[in-house]
Structure 1
Amino acid sequence: MADPTGKVRVALLSDSDIPASFSVLSKSFGHDAPLIDNYFPNHDTPAGQAQGSARLAAWKHASPASTFLKAVTTQAGDQEQEQEHVIGIAVWTHMKEAPPAELAQTENVTEVWPDEADRKFMMRLWREYVKPRTKAIEESGGKGVYVLELLAVHPGYQRLGAGTALVQWGTKAADEKGVKAVVEGTPVARRLYEQCGLRTEIEEMQFEVGEEFAGRRKPKLLFMTRQPRA
């Protein structure tokens, strides 16, 4: 990793940034996040990264309510020229309608998860995953909520403020819209979210996936929210 020479900056993610951003996502989570491992199969392989990048691009094009962001910094490159480098990614969505409980309504499940057991497991995870945000949307009085659907920062660029900048971009937008900000966060990211004003509503989200999947790793996630501020 080269030493960064400038401050972290948040900008809109372009289509050309997606492969680099997906690589950041993969490196950020490694294999420590069961939801990411299941939602983006083989994300650390060339085939998995190609598929994951294509799915991110499709999501970006199909969801006008979502804002795809990148965190960038500059670093010294060849011949001492400064080069901009993507070190983080976030997706914020103003969600006014509950997400589909059935993953097949938003994904080509047979293509992404060709193994039947993997597919069934991911579909059951998804049904449980969307329950807290669905409840928050239903309780919003039609305003909806601002959901941090994805946040990742390259492990080689931690503690530069990229995560904070990406989260605060969304909480500011939520304040401007007068809606609650929500996130299904990992315990590792809890402190970051708390520093950005989010508070835990559900200490550990429940994932009831059936006895047949009792031996599989299930996500460990908190559901956190932040009321809009004037």
Structure 2
Amino acid sequence: MTTAAKISVTLLDDDDFPTSFQVLSKSFGHDAPLIDIYFPNHDTPSGQARGSARLAAWKQGSEDSTFLKAVLKSGQDGQERIIGLAVWTYMKEPPPADIEKVENVEEVWPDVDDREYMARLWRDYVVPRTKSIEDSAGKGIFVLELLAIHPEYQRLGAGAALVKWGTKAADDKGVKAVVEGTPVARRLYEQCGLVAEIEEMRFDVGEKFVGRRKPNLIFLSREPKS
């Protein structure tokens, strides 16, 4: 049996969130500015507790989002380890441009400047997926909203398995699959059939935040296959 064959993709259980959020934090480290600002202090115990709670609330509050885990089964002791996390959302309506409509902003970002910066990023972040939804003639799109693989278990096939789950779901509905991906993950997405629509997403944060790190994201999409 190959290593890839030992990896399975299943639905994430509610009690998986603490472990899954740790995977998310380790996966991105501090190399992804959007993750750093969206999940404040995600590498600390308190930040991970808050992040886990937000993911759990998201799962409970969205019927259109599917939370997945990639599990690696050890051949020696038969133990299963969560090594990856993905969230796919079927969107038929454009997401709100105002982050206050989707997050408790004062609680998540008590610092006023952090709150304003996140709001500005979010406003630009949702533009490409909004256009894809508007261009879908009412069919909607499948959005890969989150993908994280534990750094010690990358290149084993978990990322591809999580991505392909969503592209198959998109094919089944006859809709486009999209993702706002990092350059590091671009090769994986392209191997799964997604192609770049926007080579570098635009984030206009204004002079006030010129010194802050901005996300470096590519908008990729995949047309459905019959």
Question: Normalization by structure 1: what TM-score?
Answer: 0.96
Aligned ranges for residues 214-229 of structure 1 at < 5 Å? 214-229=210-225
Shift of 1:81: 3.1
Partner of 1:194: 190
The amino acid across from 1:168 in the alignment is: K
3-state SS, counterpart of residue 92 of structure 1: strand
Structure 1 regions of 5+ residues with no counterpart? none
Contact 2:88 2:144 (8 Å CA) reproduced? yes
What corresponds to 1:157 in structure 2? 153
CA distance in 1, matches of 2:123, 2:28: 22
Distance 1:132 1:151 in 2: 18
1:141 aligns with 2:128: no
Q: Are residue 105 (structure 1) and residue 101 (structure 2) matched?
A: yes
Q: Take 1:64 and 1:126, find their aligned partners in 2: how far apart are those partners? A: 22
Unaligned runs of 5+ in 2: none
Matches within 5 A, 1:119-134: 119-134=115-130
2:201 touches 2:217 (CA, 8 Å); kept in 1? yes
Aligned residue in 2 for 1:23: 22
Q: Give how far 1:220 is off.
A: 0.2
User: What count of residue pairs does the alignment treat as equivalent?
Assistant: 224
Matched AA of 1:66: S
RMSD over aligned Cα atoms:
1.1
Preserved CA contact (<8 Å) 1:43 1:52 = yes
Q: Percent identity?
A: 71
Task: Give the whole-Å Cα distance in 1 for the aligned partners of 2:225 and 2:81.
Answer: 33
Aligned counterpart, 2:56: 57
State the Cα deviation string for residues 197-223 of structure 1 (Å, max 9, x = none): 000000000000110000000000000
1:153 and 1:91 map into 2 onto residues whose CA distance is: 12
Aligned position for 1:71: 70
Give per-residue Cα distances to partners, 1:131-167, cap 9 Å, x unaligned. Answer: 0000000000000000000000000001110000000
Q: Secondary structure at the match of 2:144?
A: strand
Separation of aligned partners in 1, 2:31 and 2:77? 35
The CA deviation at 1:6 is 6.4
**Structure 1 residue runs of 4 or more that deviate by more than 4 Å after TM superposition:** none
Contact (CA 8 Å) 1:202, 1:223: kept in 2 or not?
yes
